[in-house]
């Protein structure tokens, strides 16, 4: 039983770390690419500044929202692991 608990907790910690790390990496790459394209388009057509600025900030918010949703799911699995309670309930129901 203790081995099952430690296995689920270890795999949950690895999965939460991957979710946070890869989510942050994707958000950083996405914002970097978007920022460089924004500056490139501003250098090419400065008269589009008001339109592009609003759209850029909207996309920054959406990219950040994706990362924060991933962070919230990772924290949910790290602190209130539903997999652990389900596995313990099934393990308790098994005949010994």
Q: Hunting for tokens 């990362």 — which residue is that?
A: 67
Whether residue 17 contacts residue 92, with contact meaning beta carbons closer than 8 Å, is answered with: no
List residues with catalytic annotation.
Answer: 64
State the Cα–Cα distance between residues 68 and 56, nearest whole angstrom.
18
In the block, tokens 């996309």 appear at 59
């Amino acid at each position: 039983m203790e081995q099952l608990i430690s296995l689920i907790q270890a795999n949950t910690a690895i999965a939460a770390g991957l979710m946070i790390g890869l989510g942050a990496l994707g958000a950083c790459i996405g914002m970097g690419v978007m920022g460089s394209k924004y500056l490139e388009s501003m250098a090419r057509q400065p008269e589009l500044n008001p339109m592009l600025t609003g759209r850029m900030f909207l996309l920054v918010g959406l990219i950040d929202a994706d990362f924060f949703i991933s962070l919230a799911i990772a924290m949910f699995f790290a602190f209130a692991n539903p997999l652990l309670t389900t596995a313990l309930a099934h393990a308790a129901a098994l005949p010994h």
